[in-house]
Amino acid sequence: MTAPSVDPEPPSDAPSHFIRDIIDEDLQQGTHDGRVVTRFPPEPNGYLHIGHAKSIVLNFGLAEDYAARGAETTCRLRFDDTNPAGESEEYARAIEEAVEWLGYTPDEVRHASDYFESFYDYAVTLVKKGLAYVDSQTEEEIRENRGTVTEPGIPSPYRDRSPAENLRLLERMKAGAFDEGAHVLRAKIDMASEHMIMRDPLLYRIRHATHYRRGDEWCIYPMYDFAHCLEDAIEDVTHSLCTLEFDNNRRIYDWILEHALPAEELPGRPHQYEFNRLNLTYTVLSKRKLLQLVEDATVDGWDDPRLFTLAGLRRRGVPPGAIRQFCRAVGVTRSPGRIQISRFEHAVRDFLNDKAPRVMAVLEPLRVVIENFEDATGLNAGEADWLEASYWPRDITGREGTRDVPFTEELFIERDDFREDPPEGFYRLAPGREVRLRHGYFLTCTGVEKDEAGNVTALRAEIDPDTRSGQAPDGRNPDGTIHWVSASESDPLEARLYDRLFTVEAPGDTDEDFRKHLNPDALVTREAARIEPSVARTLREEPQRPDQKEGSAMGRATRLGVQRFQFERTGYFWPDPEDHTPEAPVFNQIVPLRDSWAEDDSGLTAEELAARRREKERQRRRQRERATAGQRDPVEDFGPGQRKRFEHLRDERGLDRDDAAVLAERLPLADFFDAALDVHDAPQAVANWTINELLRELEDAAPAASLDALPFEAAAFGRLVKLADEGTVSSAAAQKVFSEMLAEGTPPEQIVEKRGLHRLEDTKALRDAARKVAEEHPEEAARYREGETKLLGFFMGQIMQATDGTADAQEARAALRDVLAE
């Protein structure tokens, strides 16, 4: 069977990463017949957070992208519900809803609990093969006998029970004949393994518990390591993606599949790949910490907008598309790290910028009385001058629409937009100063009213009647533009502003209680805010979406979900799905706008950046000292045989101590080295090849065995080194010869003949090659002539490629210099 042809080019917005590379490779090799099958496998025992979103976006996104390229793809939602404790239908439903909200429809929803019968059959297979046994030690005994990371474990006294006895016991375990903890089923692998996970891992334990889907049908439940790989195999998953902490578990994943699956299924079996989980600064994402915050009512439930749970983000108003965009942007790698929260905020703003209509709301109102209102507008004091205001700034293309905003004698402006004594660089309102009212007149502050305590209670002002359009006939242009609402014709509003939950970057990282660093200002409520009247109208007229789910909080949120606004100059907002009513509007701030005036920015200041750089420099210096101090004499750990060999290599063969140590540490390699020397008596050259080229091809754990497995003898290796050392072939060509020897076992001389790899010293031929290369890369050649001499390396690379690595380096370099100088 041949794999269906798959478009080699990924979609342009799909970032490339190592998992894609693996899939591309598999597609090319036809490993899974052109299929890409992934899954998102949550346990239904908690709510999802943004870290899960990364996994969802990865798994479903891969399926989408490869489907678009012509591969046969599937991505399922699979509940990993193998442990009855804590799992529930409620969680499962919430998870399903969250996945859907994020914008993905699983090809299928499956449950690991539907596979319990199959798991059991696989367990029986292992028992019959003598690869699993029933252990009757107590929990403590098992733990103690497992050993530690440095000491091997002690085999269980029950380890050698016969398959027949194990089978009998396993059947009775399943039948419910035993109490919890009386027996467990364990894989029989290696109690001394340096991988703790392989010290006879548990496969089944007894739990007399009611499972939310299977009820009391089962009283033995499979462990993760046993079940997960089999779930993948049952579902024909091709690429099983999980987070880095399962790296160690991959060993048992592979072991179970290789021993439980029938041989014919092995070539297409699933493989596990691990990627870095998403961590964010200034917040916590672990299930346990989240639970703690909810339980001691630090936050107001799982959907508290301060939390990075999916429910919290949803209630806060973050659109799913922004989360998807963010998850794609953070990348998929194997290096753990912590993403700066400003990255997330940027993603949300970026997503909302061209989607949220602009309106005006004043969060902390300060009353302004227009003293010349009647004169300037020609209206009576109680009337409103309705100004047409665009929903979109001119640079958001493709969006249209305006609404009318009432301009009345008394207005509210943002308290923050007025300073009686303006600091340097402040270009909003101050006594005697003129600003532009957004979508309206120019306004000059003519007076300040204060209470007895000296607090500003109201401003008096005048407008310029000629500036109704927002332009002045004389062309003057105020520095500041501020937003405003009518005092009489605006709606009251409660605005909830959210900030990072913690005051430190990594709240969970130290030993102390992470709740010590809670940010008291993570939620700030502005209860006296006011908003222009058009918004209430917009919300009322908004048609209901047909796909909403009635009844649930999320369903109500969906209905309102199409209404996210930018409150000009303050941020993106939407009505709170729980508490907002038309009579008493409540809006959540989704994310503030960037504010280069505000001191408190979510990004880093220049000083902070510099401080970090200095700190990193210090760390590097300290590390350098420690690295050199830690260097110790390798010979110290040698046994007498190795020591003798070391001295021989160093004193008789004349190797330097590092090389001698590497060889002496691996005695079979030293033997190979000696044998090669019989052919070509140049110890340093042979040592270089042995250590730098040969060693890389050998298994660390079993050098002797992999030496035996080589398709050539030490003598052939020695002859290769001789060819290189004596200049018959260049060292680059010698490397090519070597890799062909590894693959085919052909004698080196034959390869050189067949491929024509003799060293090329012919000056004329090299000059021709150099000229050709220079012609093919005129831009680089010009840059070289302008003094970018480091490009010589680039040209050398080209020549080497053109001559199959045979060019003599010195001659080639000289030829290039000459040709390029012309």
Partner RNA sequence: UGCUCCGUAGCUCAAUCGGCAGAGCACUGGUUUCUGGUACCAGGGGCUGAAGGUUCGAAUCCUUCCGGAGCAGCCA
Q: Does 232 bind RNA (CB under 7 A)?
A: no
CB of 238 to RNA, least distance (A): 20
- C-beta closer to RNA: residue 82 or 589: 82
CB of 548 to RNA, least distance (A): 29
When binding is defined by CB under 7 A, the residue of 31, 283, 534, 566 that contacts RNA is 566
- C-beta closer to RNA: residue 288 or 540: 288
- C-beta closer to RNA: residue 569 or 580: 569
CB of 150 to RNA, least distance (A): 4
Q: Does 599 bind RNA (CB under 7 A)?
A: no
When binding is defined by CB under 7 A, the residue of 49, 271, 569, 719 that contacts RNA is 569
Q: Whose CA is closest to 241, among 32, 110, 59, 106?
A: 59
CB of 556 to RNA, least distance (A): 28
When binding is defined by CB under 7 A, the residue of 172, 289, 438, 758 that contacts RNA is 438
Q: Whose CA is closest to 382, among 486, 485, 457?
A: 486
Residues 6+ apart with CB under 8 A from 200: 135, 153, 155, 156, 159, 186, 187, 188, 189, 190, 191
Q: Does 704 bind RNA (CB under 7 A)?
A: no
CA distance 309 to 95: 11
Write the CA distances from 533 to 104, 484, 486, 525, 562, integer angstroms. Answer: 36, 12, 9, 21, 18
Residues 6+ apart with CB under 8 A from 788: none
Q: Does 246 bind RNA (CB under 7 A)?
A: yes
43 carries an active-site annotation = yes
When binding is defined by CB under 7 A, the residue of 393, 582, 639, 711 that contacts RNA is 393
Q: Which residues pair with 72 in a beta bridge?
A: 35
Q: Whose CA is closest to 467, among 438, 487, 426?
A: 438
When binding is defined by CB under 7 A, the residue of 49, 239, 428, 500 that contacts RNA is 428
Q: Binding to RNA (CB under 7 A): which residues in 339-358?
A: 339-340, 342-343, 346, 349-350, 353, 358
Q: E strands within 346-501? A: 358-359, 361-362, 365-370, 385-390, 402-407, 410-414, 434-437, 442-450, 456-463, 481-482, 484-486, 491-498
Q: Does 476 bind RNA (CB under 7 A)?
A: no
When binding is defined by CB under 7 A, the residue of 125, 402, 563, 688 that contacts RNA is 688
Q: Which stretch binds RNA (CB under 7 A): 191-199, 260-268, 443-451, 577-585?
A: 191-199
- C-beta closer to RNA: residue 548 or 735: 735
Q: Does 782 bind RNA (CB under 7 A)?
A: no
- C-beta closer to RNA: residue 334 or 644: 334
CB of 523 to RNA, least distance (A): 23
With contact defined as beta carbons under 8 Å apart, do 434 and 472 qualify? no
Q: Binding to RNA (CB under 7 A): which residues in 734-773?
A: 735
Q: Which stretch binds RNA (CB under 7 A): 297-305, 368-376, 594-602, 675-683?
A: 594-602
Q: Which residues of 411-449 are buried (b: 16+ CB within 10 A; e: fewer)?
A: bbbbebbbeeeeeeebebbbbebbbbbbbbbbbbbeeee
Q: Does 775 bind RNA (CB under 7 A)?
A: no
Q: Does 540 bind RNA (CB under 7 A)?
A: no
With contact defined as beta carbons under 8 Å apart, do 330 and 280 qualify? no
Q: Does 790 bind RNA (CB under 7 A)?
A: yes
Q: Which stretch binds RNA (CB under 7 A): 12-20, 122-130, 551-559, 764-772?
A: 12-20
277 carries an active-site annotation = yes
Q: Binding to RNA (CB under 7 A): which residues in 299-338?
A: 329-338
CA dihedral 578, 580, 581, 582 (to 10 degrees): -150
CB of 603 to RNA, least distance (A): 3
CA distance 422 to 484: 19
- C-beta closer to RNA: residue 584 or 610: 610
Q: Whose CA is closest to 443, among 425, 457, 464?
A: 464
Q: Binding to RNA (CB under 7 A): which residues in 135-154?
A: 137-139, 142-143, 146, 148-150
Residues 6+ apart with CB under 8 A from 625: none
Write the CA distances from 389 to 386, 438, 519, integer angstroms. Answer: 9, 9, 38
When binding is defined by CB under 7 A, the residue of 369, 379, 682, 695 that contacts RNA is 695
129 carries an active-site annotation = no
Q: Does 83 bind RNA (CB under 7 A)?
A: yes
CA distance 607 to 610: 5
> In sequence order, which ranges of 597-653 are alpha helices (DSSP H)?
606-630, 640-647
Q: Binding to RNA (CB under 7 A): which residues in 193-212?
A: 194-197, 202, 205-206
- C-beta closer to RNA: residue 73 or 566: 566
**535 CB-contact burial (10 Å; exposed 0-12 / middle 13-18 / buried 19+):** buried
Q: Which stretch binds RNA (CB under 7 A): 88-96, 455-463, 516-524, 689-697?
A: 689-697
When binding is defined by CB under 7 A, the residue of 5, 16, 210, 750 that contacts RNA is 16
| Options 287, 438, 515, 767, the catalytic residue | 287
Q: Does 813 bind RNA (CB under 7 A)?
A: yes
| Options 146, 251, 277, 419, the catalytic residue | 277
With contact defined as beta carbons under 8 Å apart, do 248 and 275 qualify? no
Q: Binding to RNA (CB under 7 A): which residues in 482-521?
A: 482
- C-beta closer to RNA: residue 524 or 610: 610
CA distance 646 to 635: 8
Helix (H, G, I), strand (E, B) or coil at 580: coil
CA distance 388 to 370: 19
| Options 35, 39, 43, 97, the catalytic residue | 43
With contact defined as beta carbons under 8 Å apart, do 467 and 442 qualify? yes
Q: Does 436 bind RNA (CB under 7 A)?
A: yes
Tell me the site size for RNA, rule CB under 7 A: 138
Question: Residue 653 is which amino acid?
Answer: R
When binding is defined by CB under 7 A, the residue of 244, 539, 704, 814 that contacts RNA is 244
**139 CB-contact burial (10 Å; exposed 0-12 / middle 13-18 / buried 19+):** exposed
Q: Does 594 bind RNA (CB under 7 A)?
A: yes
Residues 6+ apart with CB under 8 A from 69: 6, 7, 8, 9, 10, 11
Residues involved in catalysis: 43, 277, 287
